[in-house]
Amino acid sequence: MIGGRADAGLVIVCDHAENTLPEGYGTLGLPEAELARHIAYDIGAKAVVEQLAAILDVPAILSRFSRLLIDPNRGIDDPTLIMRLSDGAIIPTNRTLTAEERQRRIDTWYAPYHQAIDRLIDEAQRHHPHPVLLSVHSFTEVWRGTIRPWQVGVLWDADDRVAAPLIETLVAEGDLLVGDNEPYSGRLKGDCMWCHGTQRGLPHALIELRQDLICNAEGQTAWARRLARVMRKIAKRRGMTMELG
């Protein structure tokens, strides 16, 4: 949890911040090198969120466990909630997952993470009826041999109150190719933004940053500052409840 002004009208979420695995799980049977790949976490996203939250003085929540343990950006019934195979890598420990172990991971890591997000939103709603939720992720520059041209993507479903101005403002930066529901679709029932944005009627969007742009400290700082600038511009739009410093 990162502290910030609850009355700012913005809450930042980072679902895949770390590649950490709890004691007793080892590497889930994987070679250590596999945990440094995108299959284990969103490379660079954590540092961007930490700096963005500090610049804007807004609260943020970041996961403390690898998506390979359990993916907090998936619905409970999603078959990819606990991956057995990810980008060509078999996850040995997950292949023989019992129903009891699956429930243990839900109760111990997945549910507390989402409960913490709810508490953060509840606090923000004491000041604004409709605080904005922004989720920050990262994506690989190449997928299955295909180069992804976008530097940034904005994912959304039916609610474009944040997504539309985000895309417009990022495009206006003049040096970015912005993906509209690229490189992934934001229409995923049960994901984090669906649970805490759609289901609560709050404006929300998920932003994807290309990993080669935020894989080092210089890029992370540059993108945190860029996103802060973009969010401040959006906050000034009519109807927005954000009051960012």
User: 3-state secondary structure string, 14-65?
Assistant: ECCCCCCCCCCCCCCCCCHHHHHCCCCCCCCHHHHHHHHHHHHCCCEEECCC
Per-residue pLDDT tens digits for 8-17: 999 999 999 9
Per-residue pLDDT tens digits for 111-148: 999 999 999 999 999 999 999 999 999 999 987 778 89
| CATH code of residue 185 | 3.40.630.40
Domain assignment present for residue 222? The answer is no
Domain assignment present for residue 233? The answer is no
pLDDT given at position 143: 78
For the chain, the domain total comes to 1
Domain assignment present for residue 220? The answer is no
Radius of gyration of the chain (CA): 17
Confidence of residue 238 (pLDDT cuts 50, 70, 90): low
Backbone angles phi, psi at 184, to 5 degrees: -130, 160
| Residue 161, domain extent | 6-213
Cα angle value 237/239/240 (rounded, 5°): 65
pTM of the predicted model as reported, rounded to 2 decimal places? 0.96
Domain assignment present for residue 70? The answer is yes
